[in-house]
Amino acid sequence: MCTISQNNQRSEPVEIYGPEGLRKFLRTSLSLSQSQLGFDYIVHELKMIPEQYVFETSGAILTWDVNLSCDDVLHPNERPGLLIECDRDKVWELYDDNKIGVKGSLVETENSIFYLNSLDVLSITVDFNQYSKKKAQMSEKIYHIILKLYNYDRLDAAKLKAKGVPPGPLYSKIKAGEKITAPSGEKISPRDVVGPPRPGRKVIICGDTCWSEELLKVGQNADILVHEATLQNSCKDTAIQNGHSTPDMAADIAQRLDVEKLVLTHYSQRYKPINCTDTENQETVQILYDEAASVMGKDRVVAAYDLLSISVPLKSS
């Protein structure tokens, strides 16, 4: 945040989402270091549920009572944020701006820090939608992100002109989902002059995980699933033991979600890049790709690499 602040050109506050304790961590860090930012920030915390609390290997919950509350004075650049609770499906709805929807669900991983046996990770589903809401659901285990965008047909300019509305700012407002008032005083709703919604785009981005079942609640029929494939199938036991997945595991959840394309990522360092020229007697990411492609088909699997850009086209209907 301090680095970004050095070359800040934004006027809007930065909104940060994370688990309980993040607000206190950032406020304490910035305050103790007397760091001033070039922008304001807001921390929205996701209220933890019992499944997220850390257990010792013995099964007994840690007796260290950590105070996550943060009621002291705000940092000079801090604005008040929300404490977001999950719904009955353990989904955290984080954001809604009528354009993008973001949701999160539960996945599981292994964490070797201190006593931690397992840690919940966030999975976020984002819905990109010119007229839909932006929601973010966070899961307990490791976090994922699911994005979805809905699209509406074109604005019927002829109808607006017939109602006396000239081209201009009002067109942008009504296409953004806002009601407008015609010069005659008539209230015009977007549904009166905009075509019906078309299927949008939906992207799921997973973090480290060895269990993605909770994605089935929020990630169905996504265009893209970005899922880790740390080790090849023959190393499944090792992968799970360390909180990771194999290509078969990624392909399995992709098929159950009925996604159009699976993007593999988070490879072990033992695998050299596919385009690496010095791979004699060394395994490459091609192994992971081939294993996933044997389940999904080559046209539905992509082996990610640094700076990869993937186009997600709009659906016609």
Entry pTM: 0.67
The two most distant CA atoms of the chain are separated, in Å, by: 77
- The pLDDT value recorded for residue 64 is 62
If pLDDT is split at 50, 70 and 90, which confidence band does 196 have? low
How many CB atoms within 10 Å of residue 228? 27
Q: Phi and psi of 143, rounded to 5°? A: -90, 140
CA atoms within 13 A on the CB side of 195: 13
- Looking at per-residue confidence, does 118 or 198 come out higher? 198
CA dihedral 227, 231, 236, 242 (to 10 degrees): -80
Name the residue with tokens 């919950």: 61
Give the residue-averaged pLDDT of 237-262: 95
SS3 122: strand
How are beta strands 118-128 and 100-110 bridged, if at all?
A: antiparallel
Indicate the helix (H) or strand (E) that contains 145: strand 142-152
Collapsing DSSP to helix, strand or coil, 112 comes out as: coil
Residues 6+ apart with CB under 8 A from 78: 26, 27, 40, 41, 42, 43
Average pLDDT, the chain: 79
Q: For the chain, how many residues are written?
A: 317
pLDDT: which is higher, 135 or 264 = 264
Q: What is the mean pLDDT of residues 105-122?
A: 42
Query: CB of 42 within 8 A of CB of 15?
Result: yes
The pLDDT of residue 206: 84
Question: Residues 11-61: pLDDT tens digits?
Answer: 899 999 888 889 999 999 999 999 999 999 999 998 887 776 655 545 555
**If pLDDT is split at 50, 70 and 90, which confidence band does 92 have?**
confident
- Torsion angles phi and psi, residue 205, rounded to 5: -120, 115
Q: Confidence band (pLDDT; 50, 70, 90) for 141?
A: very low
pLDDT (0 to 100) of residue 208: 86
Specify the pLDDT at position 71: 79
